[in-house]
Structure 1
């Protein structure tokens, strides 16, 4: 019993309900709650007034003449039971007009509640990988530790069920695959978040922003990526897209210019119209789902910053097509790059000379065969930059001297700072 119940029809005898005993009942209530509602041990009451001493004399059945008294709870329980028929806990509840809490039991219940999600995780992992041939990824431990440390699950009803559902979501999107065996999100197939939510939770809104399950899954995806917790809608979108989950078909886009389509789908016709008019296009999931295909063997510059694409479009001459990642590439960008890769495009990558930029260049080269272009140590040293490099250094796969040059100089060189060089050599890229 974690809490005593207040009898509905009982009343406190007049001799026990005097005002002079109000503070004494409060002290008795606190002492009983700390003892798990068991009348044992002694309680000391200090600084007694004359009225309180008179009230305690009637309560204890012995004269109280000192401003301090020690109350034997077991003896008081026996006296009250004999005189009223109710035990000390019930009588104290009546005096305080509330049930008494069994604090040790409540602490135990809270501890069990806090532990239940983590026991559920262990049970799920044991059932999923009973032979232990598949190693539990390290990021999973970081995720669970973060949930425990931040008290996220303490604010969630049925937290054990929520955390198991989160594991089911992650398993459904192959999030537990080893990094070296992981299939890029754009190649594993995509699923709408509403469809995934309906599949796992039975409700298409079960993974909406702000839903407890969505919060817990996003924390897992952040731990998996070694990234900070998502604070913006853009960050949340990128985390979902990292496992091939699409929020909608129109708001996530890939900025392109000069790409030649293949076939006669509506998306291809729109791309053809933009190619003829010279205007950049934001390709969407709608276009990809509409059957967009790209012509084979194109020369394509993959850049990081939209100003680069804009400058190429303003140039207005024949040249390579351009795909802009707009920083860290979203799933639409990666899917467009996948289409180009499948079509045998000659991809060249140019981005910022900072550590995230080097990491993105490495990823683009590994996943899509793009060759870094104008991104050697000499290109970096020739560029203008003043902002300091921040974060952990990243070695460039294509130039072993670039990382050392960047660490030695210690500044970023952004893509816009070398735009003139990029434009002057663009014709060579197209050839």
Structure 2
């Protein structure tokens, strides 16, 4: 086997491996090697016991297989390559297995659909056909794929118990519905394959577009009489004084007057008349410590915190305020994730950078060094700051990450 591993045969074995894997591991057909060097010609001559003198060679795989079996190797071509490694893959058999699994999975899904009130509904069969064509389920582990499509059918049958497009006369909590059809309250959580499949079915049944973002997904759930979780995720706010006349707006104004922060849920944002005076400048920060410090200092400027990432509830609030012509100023961490988030906020809301320029970064870095603050290395892949072409280069040159707390006194001055 040592001779077979010599470099002069490496191109031969690579070409043979490709041919075998495509032909069901059978040594059939020929391969042609071109631009042979001296070492390759010598190795092929020794292997096949005939001279190779030109710069190209045509080799019949049956002849090579016979030669290996008759030689000291004592095994056929496929066994030889398997021994040389890595293991061979019978791609034809693999394709046949995938096709057979798709057929089996499709038959099982059709049978599951036929056992529900959706059996005679064109939209339900179109839904199943679209899923099968997409290959989504075929890419899942065998047991997972069957469980997922079965649970999706059961969930849609629960929502449309009479068939057709008429919804059940009941409002489900999404966790309750998930428990009913999957056994887990998190079975229909956002981002799961099951939730995506069910939403695709609801969209077809209701003849609406498939949702592409979190707000439209929640809207489609509600359209199907399913209440998504709108209370567990919150956005941290401070100093909001909406002009509305309900007790909710009055409560926000009172909390602002007493310098208290407020966590708002998606559910509250749906019912609040959250309109600030037109042109109000709203400051947006990344870290909750800024809100805490603003409250301790009795600052009055409106402030919203992304808490490290702009989640759906954060964007919902900012979208609401942007619709009332509020203006935004944004500050975040001077690190690459911070720049990424700042790019997102400044682009979406035309937010003004708030002490987020290259001179701001240089000043804070110099001040930290003078104070003897241990430097925090700037790691990761650099991100271009869309609002200041010099910022990324400056950060990369100094190599120091600065969190928002490094600028806390300056930010509080701006909020006064």
TM-score by length of 2: 0.51
Q: Does 1:65 align with 2:61?
A: no
Shift of 1:32: 0.9
Q: Is the 8 A contact 1:170 1:176 kept in 2?
A: no
Report 1 or 2 for greater relative contact order, CA contacts < 8 Å, sequence distance ≥ 6.
1
Shift of 1:22: 1.0
TM-score by length of 1: 0.49
Aligned residue for 1:124? 112
Shift of 1:250: 6.1
In structure 1, stretches of 5+ residues that fail to align are 1-12, 252-277, 283-304, 308-431
Instruction: Return the alpha-carbon distance in structure 1 between the equivalents of residues 219 and 102 of structure 2.
Output: 30
Q: Is the 8 A contact 2:248 2:272 kept in 1?
A: no
Q: Does 1:29 align with 2:17?
A: yes
Instruction: Return the alpha-carbon distance in structure 2 between the equivalents of residues 135 and 279 of structure 1.
Output: 49
What is the correspondence of 1:168-183 to structure 2 with a 5 Å cutoff? 168-174=154-160, 177-179=163-165, 182=166
Shift of 1:239: 2.3
Shift of 1:175: 5.4
Deviations 1:261-312 (A, max 9, x none): xxxxxxxxxxxxxxxxx84889xxxxxxxxxxxxxxxxxxxxxx999xxxxx
Shift of 1:209: 0.8
Instruction: Return the alpha-carbon distance in structure 2 between the equivalents of residues 92 and 249 of structure 1.
Output: 58
Aligned residue for 1:136? 120
User: Closer, same or farther in 2 for the Cα pair 1:195/1:48, shift >3 Å?
Assistant: same
Residue among 236, 240, 262 paired with 2:217: 236
Q: Is the 8 A contact 1:118 1:160 kept in 2?
A: no
Question: Superposition RMSD on alpha carbons, in Å?
Answer: 3.1
Aligned residue for 2:263? none
Instruction: Return the alpha-carbon distance in structure 1 between the equivalents of residues 49 and 116 of structure 2.
Output: 66
Shift of 1:193: 1.7
Deviations 1:340-390 (A, max 9, x none): xxxxxxxxxxxxxxxxxxxxxxxxxxxxxxxxxxxxxxxxxxxxxxxxxxx
Q: Does 1:218 align with 2:207?
A: no
Instruction: Return the alpha-carbon distance in structure 2 between the equivalents of residues 123 and 135 of structure 1.
Output: 9
Q: Does 1:91 align with 2:80?
A: yes
Instruction: Return the alpha-carbon distance in structure 1 between the equivalents of residues 157 and 171 of structure 2.
Output: 14
Deviations 1:307-355 (A, max 9, x none): 9xxxxxxxxxxxxxxxxxxxxxxxxxxxxxxxxxxxxxxxxxxxxxxxx
User: Closer, same or farther in 2 for the Cα pair 1:243/1:76, shift >3 Å?
Assistant: same
User: Closer, same or farther in 2 for the Cα pair 1:150/1:280, shift >3 Å?
Assistant: farther
In structure 2, stretches of 5+ residues that fail to align are 233-244, 250-270, 274-416
Q: Is the 8 A contact 1:190 1:246 kept in 2?
A: yes
What is the correspondence of 1:7-406 to structure 2 with a 5 Å cutoff? 13-83=1-71, 84-95=73-84, 97-128=85-116, 136-157=120-141, 158-174=144-160, 177-179=163-165, 182=166, 188-248=169-229, 279=246
User: Closer, same or farther in 2 for the Cα pair 1:94/1:249, shift >3 Å?
Assistant: closer
3-state SS in 2 of match to 1:136: coil
State the number of aligned residues.
239
Shift of 1:42: 2.3
Instruction: Return the alpha-carbon distance in structure 2 between the equivalents of residues 32 and 39 of structure 1.
Output: 6
User: Closer, same or farther in 2 for the Cα pair 1:80/1:136, shift >3 Å?
Assistant: same
User: Closer, same or farther in 2 for the Cα pair 1:20/1:250, shift >3 Å?
Assistant: closer
Deviations 1:169-206 (A, max 9, x none): 11122256224xx25x5xx1222221221222121111
Q: Is the 8 A contact 1:80 1:88 kept in 2?
A: yes
Shift of 1:118: 2.5
User: Closer, same or farther in 2 for the Cα pair 1:28/1:155, shift >3 Å?
Assistant: closer
